[in-house]
């Protein structure tokens, strides 16, 4: 029975027919939720009872509250509380950032010292720490600035005079917050995907630049909510400094109520001021979170002012709540036909891999690999899963260290300098510089999600190659047009399809004008319908003279584009040769068995 039949059959008395003639006269009655209605009534009663008890009971002393709320001593105390909070937060988070970076560093001593500091100052109650600092003069009569372990002293001060209650309070709050915030910041750093670190390193971005521009802005998404918890705790925690007889808000209130015995109204003065501080901090938190949500959300939430107007029904949230460009379904602009856009790229370099061996613990992943990729050639590396293809690729730009053997591009060693029979690993800065000659495109794109497409492409040319921003942007627009994404310059990566993201990743790598381009399964994270648009770009590049090395499972693509195919198994090169030979007349039985499975 069809739906139409059902409607007809449900109206034997003709009602359906009448309704069907004039829908505009129908009243819509939403479903009734009895429990919700009763709950709302109960909440209203509780609210009214609470208000009545607070406003109707004269013992709350609201006139006394009004008298003291804006009085001079209270405002001075409030000012001191705010100053302590601001200084404690500023120095505490600065210290926490240094400790967190030390905790994630590769120096065991730094890690141990930072861990010890955090362990100690998280264990000591704040009140005890403040009292110890206030009595520091008993332990050390003077504080001196000089050269340790010598008699050389530049300046010296009496500790009792130097360590005023205010300084003791700032120092105590800083040490306490520093220890707690270090773990918050470390948690944020650890939450940033490893691929982001690798992509930044592959672009040759210096460590400090990676931390400042790539890691910390992304870490902020998880740092901010907990950090504001800490700051709110700090604002209230400043009341502990009453033990130092420092007249901040709470201590001032205590002094006043001990004199006039109006305890409750004065405690209410303190409470309302703390509520106001917390509300202001919450609004700031909302905006800071919103700032760091750029790129992480397709549409940013409205700012707090607009949110209030919308709640009052004065504006609608939706018309202007989409400041970010909206994603366009896959395809967009087509990849620009060849012309000769690849002519502006540098000529490829010759890659020589000699006796490279690499193990992870007991597992030998690369076993005496020797290969030569001539300048301008296209090499496809194929083989079963776990055969060491990606690891080999990562050793070429020194993202992975080799245990034995070496890799050179145009005769220049990657990651090492040779003296006699010894290879010395280069300094990080030198490795980063050489790495810019070897671009890498990752399976999962690893675009920086908090930067726009244009910023993704210009970041390394400005930071590493020293291009002016204008020049880098001009070049980036050109490259984006070449990969068919001219209209996506201001979009964030999450607003693009997978194929578009991978094309941005290719443009980002090309912006450094590398001699060699490594592709690590560039299409395996894409829907089948998006694979073609990425392969088209790679085909263009294959004709450009740049040296391409591609790890791929797309055998048909390898046949079409590669000059030679390398078949790997269990970390060894089983055979290499022209596609026609390897794919149709493999010499080795293992190659034949693999091809039989995948073709």
Ligand X SMILES: Nc1ncnc2c1ncn2[C@@H]1O[C@H](COP(=O)(O)OP(=O)(O)OP(=O)(O)O)[C@@H](O)[C@H]1O
Residues interacting with ligand X, by CB under 6 A? 360, 365, 383, 385-391
Q: Pick left, alpha or beta for residue 466 (phi over 0 → left; psi -120 to 50 → alpha; otherwise beta).
A: left
* 518 membership: H or E segment, kind and range: strand 516-520
Considering the complex, state which of residue 144 and residue 598 has its C-beta at the smaller distance from ligand X: 598
Can you tell me the distance from the alpha carbon of 384 to that of 574, in angstroms, rounded to the nearest whole number?
12
* Burial readout 116-155 (b: 16 or more C-beta within 10 A, e: otherwise): ebbeebeeeebeebbeebbebbeeeeeeeeeeeeeeeeee
To ligand X, the closest distance from the beta carbon of 559 in angstroms equals 18
Considering the complex, state which of residue 391 and residue 501 has its C-beta at the smaller distance from ligand X: 391
Can you tell me the distance from the alpha carbon of 132 to that of 323, in angstroms, rounded to the nearest whole number?
52
To ligand X, the closest distance from the beta carbon of 423 in angstroms equals 21
3-state class (DSSP) for residue 407: strand
Considering the complex, state which of residue 390 and residue 458 has its C-beta at the smaller distance from ligand X: 390
Non-local (6+) Cβ contacts of 524 within 8 A are 443, 553
- Report the side by side order of strands in the sheet with 378-382: 438-441, 516-520, 547-551, 378-382, 564-569, 572-577
DSSP state of 535: H
To ligand X, the closest distance from the beta carbon of 409 in angstroms equals 20
To ligand X, the closest distance from the beta carbon of 579 in angstroms equals 19
Considering the complex, state which of residue 233 and residue 556 has its C-beta at the smaller distance from ligand X: 556
- For every residue of 125-179, DSSP letters joined together read -HHHHHHHHHTHHHH-SEEEEE-TTSS-EEEEEEHHHHS-HHHHHHHHHHHHHHH
Considering the complex, state which of residue 139 and residue 362 has its C-beta at the smaller distance from ligand X: 362
Considering the complex, state which of residue 394 and residue 515 has its C-beta at the smaller distance from ligand X: 394
To ligand X, the closest distance from the beta carbon of 408 in angstroms equals 21
Non-local (6+) Cβ contacts of 374 within 8 A are 350, 547
* 184 membership: H or E segment, kind and range: helix 165-191
To ligand X, the closest distance from the beta carbon of 81 in angstroms equals 50
Considering the complex, state which of residue 181 and residue 391 has its C-beta at the smaller distance from ligand X: 391
Look at the block and give the residue holding tokens 């055969």. Answer: 387
Encoded tokens for 557: 């693509």
Q: Residue 214 burial by CB count (10 A; 0-12/13-18/19+): exposed, middle or buried?
A: buried
To ligand X, the closest distance from the beta carbon of 524 in angstroms equals 8
To ligand X, the closest distance from the beta carbon of 88 in angstroms equals 41
Can you tell me the distance from the alpha carbon of 188 to that of 221, in angstroms, rounded to the nearest whole number?
8
* 573 membership: H or E segment, kind and range: strand 572-577
To ligand X, the closest distance from the beta carbon of 534 in angstroms equals 17
Task: Tell me if 536 sits within 8 A of 485, measured CB to CB.
Answer: no
Considering the complex, state which of residue 4 and residue 194 has its C-beta at the smaller distance from ligand X: 194
Considering the complex, state which of residue 302 and residue 388 has its C-beta at the smaller distance from ligand X: 388
Neighbours of 292 (CB within 10 A): 18
Can you tell me the distance from the alpha carbon of 469 to that of 282, in angstroms, rounded to the nearest whole number?
36
Considering the complex, state which of residue 85 and residue 390 has its C-beta at the smaller distance from ligand X: 390
Encoded tokens for 475: 């070049």
Beta-bridge mates of residue 292: none
To ligand X, the closest distance from the beta carbon of 390 in angstroms equals 3
Can you tell me the distance from the alpha carbon of 215 to that of 65, in angstroms, rounded to the nearest whole number?
48
Considering the complex, state which of residue 163 and residue 201 has its C-beta at the smaller distance from ligand X: 201
Considering the complex, state which of residue 365 and residue 463 has its C-beta at the smaller distance from ligand X: 365
To ligand X, the closest distance from the beta carbon of 443 in angstroms equals 8
To ligand X, the closest distance from the beta carbon of 526 in angstroms equals 15
Considering the complex, state which of residue 96 and residue 383 has its C-beta at the smaller distance from ligand X: 383
To ligand X, the closest distance from the beta carbon of 438 in angstroms equals 17
3-state class (DSSP) for residue 27: coil
């Amino acid at each position: 029975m069809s739906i139409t039949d059902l409607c007809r059959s449900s109206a034997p008395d003709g009602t359906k027919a009448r309704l069907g003639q004039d829908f505009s006269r129908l009243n819509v009655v939403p479903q009734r939720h009895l429990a919700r209605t009763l709950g709302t009534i109960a909440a209203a009663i509780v609210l009214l009872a609470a208000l009545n008890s607070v406003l109707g009971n004269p013992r709350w002393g609201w006139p006394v509250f009004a008298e003291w709320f804006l009085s001079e001593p209270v405002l001075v105390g409030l000012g001191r509380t705010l100053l302590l909070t601001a200084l404690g937060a500023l120095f505490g988070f600065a210290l926490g950032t240094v400790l967190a970076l030390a905790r994630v560093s590769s120096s065991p001593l730094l890690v141990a010292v930072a861990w010890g500091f955090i362990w100690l100052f998280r264990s000591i109650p704040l009140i005890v720490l403040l009292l110890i600092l206030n009595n520091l003069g008993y332990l050390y009569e003077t504080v001196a600035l000089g050269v340790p372990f010598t008699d050389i002293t530049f300046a010296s001060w009496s500790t009792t005079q130097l360590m005023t209650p205010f300084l003791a309070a700032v120092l105590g709050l800083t040490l306490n917050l520093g220890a707690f915030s270090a773990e918050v910041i470390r948690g944020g750093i650890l939450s940033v995907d490893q691929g982001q670190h690798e992509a930044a390193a592959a672009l040759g971005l210096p460590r400090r630049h990676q931390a400042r521009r790539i890691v910390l802005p992304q870490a902020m998404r998880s740092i901010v909510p907990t950090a504001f918890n800490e700051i709110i705790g700090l604002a209230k925690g400043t009341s502990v400094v009453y033990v130092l007889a420092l007249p901040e808000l709470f201590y001032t209130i205590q002094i006043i109520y001990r004199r006039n015995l109006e305890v409750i109204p004065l405690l209410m003065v303190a409470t309302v001021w703390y509520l106001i501080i917390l509300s202001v901090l919450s609004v700031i938190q909302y905006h800071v979170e919103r700032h760091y949500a750029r790129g992480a959300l397709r549409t940013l939430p409205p700012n707090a002012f607009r949110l209030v107007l919308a709640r009052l029904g004065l504006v609608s949230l939706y018309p202007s709540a989409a400041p970010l460009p909206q994603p366009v379904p896959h395809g967009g602009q087509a990849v620009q036909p060849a012309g000769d856009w690849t002519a502006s790229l540098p000529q490829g370099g010759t890659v020589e891999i000699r006796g490279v061996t690499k193990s992870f613990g007991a597992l030998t992943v690369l076993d005496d690999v020797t290969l030569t990729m001539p300048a301008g050639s296209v090499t496809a590396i194929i083989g079963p899963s776990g055969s060491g293809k990606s690891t080999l690729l990562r050793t070429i730009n020194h993202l992975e260290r080799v245990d034995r053997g070496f890799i050179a591009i145009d005769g220049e060693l990657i990651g090492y300098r040779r003296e006699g029979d010894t290879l010395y690993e280069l300094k990080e800065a030198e490795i980063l510089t050489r790495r810019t000659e070897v671009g890498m495109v990752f399976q999962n794109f690893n675009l920086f999600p908090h930067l726009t497409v244009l910023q993704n492409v210009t970041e390394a040319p400005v930071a590493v190659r020293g291009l002016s921003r204008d020049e880098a942007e001009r070049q980036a627009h050109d490259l984006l047009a070449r990969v068919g994404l001219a209209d996506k310059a201001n979009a964030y990566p999450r607003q693009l399809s997978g194929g578009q993201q991978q094309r941005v990743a290719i443009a980002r790598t090309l912006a450094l004008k590398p001699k060699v381009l490594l592709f690590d399964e560039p299409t395996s994270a894409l829907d089948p319908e998006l694979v073609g648009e990425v392969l088209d770009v790679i085909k263009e590049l294959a004709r450009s003279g740049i040296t391409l090395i591609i790890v791929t499972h797309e055998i048909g693509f390898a046949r079409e584009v590669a000059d030679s195919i390398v078949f790997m198994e269990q970390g060894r090169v089983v055979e290499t040769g022209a596609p026609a030979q390897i794919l149709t007349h493999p010499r080795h039985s293992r190659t034949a068995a693999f091809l039989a499975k995948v073709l």
